[in-house]
Amino acid sequence: MKTSIPVKQKKRGRPKTGQMPFIGIRLSLPIQDAIREVLTDPSIPCTNNSEAIRFIIHDWLRSHGYLTGEMPLSIKRKRGY
């Protein structure tokens, strides 16, 4: 009689996501269009929608006094800021 093919057991539970948790939001079309406009501005160091959203939130929080410090390194490295 032939033996069975060994099968690797799957891990249980949710897979690891990294250091920062994912936060999903729904945005209206005018807001999505505004985010795309941010991407076309050469003075803003963003290359995709996720970075643009992070940049906008960080900029707003900093300008209203909720956050201190510079732009996150992940955005600075992309364009050399």
The pLDDT of residue 38 is above 50: yes
Q: What is the pLDDT of residues 44-63, one digit of tens each?
A: 888 889 889 988 998 899 99
Q: Is the pLDDT of residue 16 over 90?
A: no
Cβ contact 78:72 at 8 Å: no
User: Which pLDDT score is estimated for 72?
Assistant: 64
For the ranges 61-65, 68-72, 77-81, the maximum mean pLDDT occurs at 61-65
Mean pLDDT of 7-15: 78
Mean of all residue pLDDT scores within the chain? 81
**How many helices and strands (H and E) does the chain possess?**
3, 0
pTM given for the model = 0.62
Angle at which helix 49-63 crosses helix 29-40, to 10 degrees, equals 90
